[in-house]
Chain A
Amino acid sequence: MKAIFVPIYISFFILVGCSSLTLKPADFGWPVESVLSVDGQGRIQNERYSFSLNVKALLFAETHDSVNIGKVNLRMIRDMKGYYFITASQFKNVYVFEQSEGGLKLKNRILVAQNGLNEPALNQRVPYIQVVNGQNPAVLLTEDGVFEGEKK
């Protein structure tokens, strides 16, 4: 009888020891977007949340121009799940990133304005991110795309 239970006990403790430790629930959301200017090297720096990031690749992806990047003001917000939403004036898309080792990895690219955004702003509207574009109707986003339900 003992011979049967000993391996079971051992396997149970091995399984518990190897499973990942998960801390839940979490809220990574920023209450308000950060407006960050891109410097000559294509870097942005956020003092409040203490990080810096090179966004050259993002600017090139959107504008196909990695030279004239000095005057761009990126608008960035993090939703409660921890995804980063980034856009800027004249952008057609909102880019959704997730954290990866030493950088951000593109999760999704959401088309929000065929002719480019005029006066964009990103608002935290838990569980969504709201994209405001001047006088146009606001759009709600999740990391997967535009939320098609009730629009705020």
Chain B
Amino acid sequence: MKTIIRLVTLLAIMNIIVSAQQKSDYAVVQRFQGITKSIAKNIDQAKTVQECAEANTSLDAVEKEFSGEKTLINQANYPDGYDKTIEQLRGKLLIRQRDLGVIESQIVRITDLEVKIRELSDQVKTLTTQNESLMAEVQQLSLNVKKLSGDLFNSATPIDSLRHMVVRLRQGLQERDALIFALTDSLFMQYDKNVGDMKDVEKQGLLGKIDRHDIIGNVKRSISDNIAFLETTQLKGNDLVTLVRQQKRFQSQWIGLSMKLTSLYLSGKSKKSEVGIVDSMLATWGDNVDGAMWRSLNMLMKEKGFTVKEFKNGDDFVASFIAFFDEQIQNVNKETEDTRYKLFTNFNESLWQTDLNAVWLPALIELHKITDAQKKDIEIKFEKWHASVMPGASWLTYILIVLGVLLVAIVGVWIFRKGPKAALKE
């Protein structure tokens, strides 16, 4: 474990040196020597098939990284050069695998997974950097827009670039969240057994990998980024529902992972507490995203001009709406039929059909905020309100009625006059 940490630190330091001295041949050779020495040490200390696979992947990575410097290393890496060093390490690894009784097919499968893990880990790092700069841009742009218009995401906000950036950032965050759990799955898949069935040495190896890829740190970072995103963007409607969905998905994935981690961290109290910290961060994210959702729904009602008692959870929401419908059905304010009909039409067209029935009610059920029965209650009340209002008579209706009466009178007179004349002719 310590060796692995030392290796990672060494690689990081070497990376810094190389990036500072891009063109120094000496630094290239030193880096090659440092990495190959560490790999050799890891091979000597390998006790599991996973550690052998890791060394194998590291060797592949070295070959890939230094293929362009082969000539230089062949001349400068005294006495073995490049080719002989790699060849010796491959031989050493083969011997170690034989000693441990590792089957070739096992190593191939686990090496494939190790390659995938490294790719995923790199992708997580890249996305983290990308999201960081996007978040900074979004925060800056949001501030500017707020100063100009006072409100960020109303329909009049003319900043398309900000909207576009917010969409990109949201996608980036979602992609990163998914990658972290894919990375974790791949780590566990390498061992192909339940944590309880693992040997101590395997548990230590897995823990080392979890630490090295900073799984808990990445999970924490995802949660704080999502919270920051929520606070910065103040999204509404469907966008907000997507965020709530994302939080729920993340939470259920974390529950699966935290159970495994807890059994892995049985001996380490400090590590175990990390799981608890993530739990509480996740709860904060959940509260924030729920709070934002209810605020957005309350705001929607106000914006459309309907007075509904403020609600902060699913039950309150149902109670407020049923109270609102009851008020309308019983006509508490003693409004005229015409006013009531207009109010209903307005509610139906601008809120019920566009937002409530189309987006929010299905979403609230999906997110387990209200039950099917509660939704049904709201729908029944809505229908009752519908049935209780009659279209009021307008001036056009009166004109039509008068015209109808006149028409009937004219036709009647005409038939009455025609009748005596026909009798005289006969």
Interface string of A27-40 (1 = CB under 8 A from B): 00001110100000
Count of chain A residues near B, Cβ 8 A:
15
**Taking the complex as formed, is A110 at the interface, i.e. its CB lies under 8 A from any CB of chain B?**
no
Q: Distance (Å) between the CB of A126 and the closest chain B CB?
A: 11
**Taking the complex as formed, is A2 at the interface, i.e. its CB lies under 8 A from any CB of chain B?**
no
B25 and A124 contacting across the interface, CB-CB below 8 Å: yes
Q: Which of A120-152 contact B (CB under 8 A)?
A: 121-124, 130, 132, 134, 138
Q: Distance (Å) between the CB of A84 and the closest chain B CB?
A: 16
Q: Distance (Å) between the CB of B267 and the closest chain A CB?
A: 44
Residues of B within 8 A of A134 (CB): 20-21
A124 to B25, CA, bound (A): 8
A132 and B78 contacting across the interface, CB-CB below 8 Å: no
**Taking the complex as formed, is A119 at the interface, i.e. its CB lies under 8 A from any CB of chain B?**
yes
**Taking the complex as formed, is B27 at the interface, i.e. its CB lies under 8 A from any CB of chain A?**
yes
A32 and B21 contacting across the interface, CB-CB below 8 Å: no
Q: Does more than half of chain A's interface fall in helix, strand or loop, or is it mixed?
A: strand
Q: Contact check: which of B24, B29, B72, B76 meets A132 at CB < 8 Å?
A: B24
Residues of A within 8 A of B24 (CB): 121, 123, 132
Residues of B within 8 A of A124 (CB): 25
**Taking the complex as formed, is B75 at the interface, i.e. its CB lies under 8 A from any CB of chain A?**
yes
Q: Known contacts A32-B26, A35-B26: does B21 contact A132 (CB below 8 Å)?
A: yes
B20 and A123 contacting across the interface, CB-CB below 8 Å: no
Q: Distance (Å) between the CB of B26 and the closest chain A CB?
A: 5
Q: Contact check: which of B20, B21, B27, B76 meets A31 at CB < 8 Å?
A: B76
Q: Which of B21, B25, B29, B75 has the most CB of A within 10 A?
A: B25
Residues of A within 8 A of B27 (CB): 121
A130 to B23, CA, bound (A): 10
A121 to B29, CA, bound (A): 13
**Taking the complex as formed, is A48 at the interface, i.e. its CB lies under 8 A from any CB of chain B?**
yes
A32 to B30, CA, bound (A): 10
A121 and B20 contacting across the interface, CB-CB below 8 Å: no
B26 and A121 contacting across the interface, CB-CB below 8 Å: yes
Count of chain B residues near A, Cβ 8 A:
12
Q: Contact check: which of B20, B23, B25, B78 meets A33 at CB < 8 Å?
A: B25
Residues of A within 8 A of B78 (CB): 48
Q: Distance (Å) between the CB of B24 and the closest chain A CB?
A: 3
B72 and A31 contacting across the interface, CB-CB below 8 Å: yes
Q: Which of A32, A119, A134, A138 has the most CB of B within 10 A?
A: A32
Which residue in chain B gives the minimum CB-CB distance to A125?
B25
Q: Contact check: which of A32, A119, A122, A138 meets B75 at CB < 8 Å?
A: A32
Interface string of A110-124 (1 = CB under 8 A from B): 000000000101111
A122 to B23, CA, bound (A): 9
Residues of A within 8 A of B23 (CB): 121, 123, 130, 132, 138
Which residue in chain A gives the minimum CB-CB distance to B23?
A132
A119 to B16, CA, bound (A): 13
Residues of B within 8 A of A121 (CB): 21, 23-27
Q: Known contacts A48-B78, A121-B26, A123-B25: does B72 contact A32 (CB below 8 Å)?
A: yes
Which residue in chain A gives the minimum CB-CB distance to B27?
A121
Interface string of B17-41 (1 = CB under 8 A from A): 0001101111101000000000000
A123 to B20, CA, bound (A): 15
A132 to B75, CA, bound (A): 20
Q: Known contacts A121-B26, A121-B27: does B20 contact A32 (CB below 8 Å)?
A: no
Residues of A within 8 A of B29 (CB): 32
Which residue in chain B gives the minimum CB-CB distance to A119?
B21
Q: Which of B19-75 contact A (CB under 8 A)?
A: 20-21, 23-27, 29, 72, 75
A92 to B26, CA, bound (A): 20
Q: Which of B24, B29, B76 has the most CB of A within 10 A?
A: B24
Q: Distance (Å) between the CB of A85 and the closest chain B CB?
A: 13
A31 and B75 contacting across the interface, CB-CB below 8 Å: yes
A121 to B23, CA, bound (A): 8
A123 to B27, CA, bound (A): 10
Residues of B within 8 A of A132 (CB): 21, 23-24
A75 to B23, CA, bound (A): 15
Show 17 residue pairs from A and B whose CB-CB distance is below 8 angstroms, ordered by the A residue.
A32-B25, A32-B26, A32-B72, A32-B75, A32-B76, A33-B25, A35-B26, A48-B78, A119-B21, A121-B21, A121-B24, A121-B25, A121-B27, A123-B23, A130-B23, A134-B20, A134-B21
Contact surface of A with B, Cβ cutoff 8 Å: 31-33, 35, 48, 75, 119, 121-124, 130, 132, 134, 138
Q: A35-B26, A123-B26 are in contact. List 7 more A-B contacts (CB 8 A).
A: A31-B72, A32-B26, A75-B26, A121-B25, A121-B27, A132-B23, A134-B20
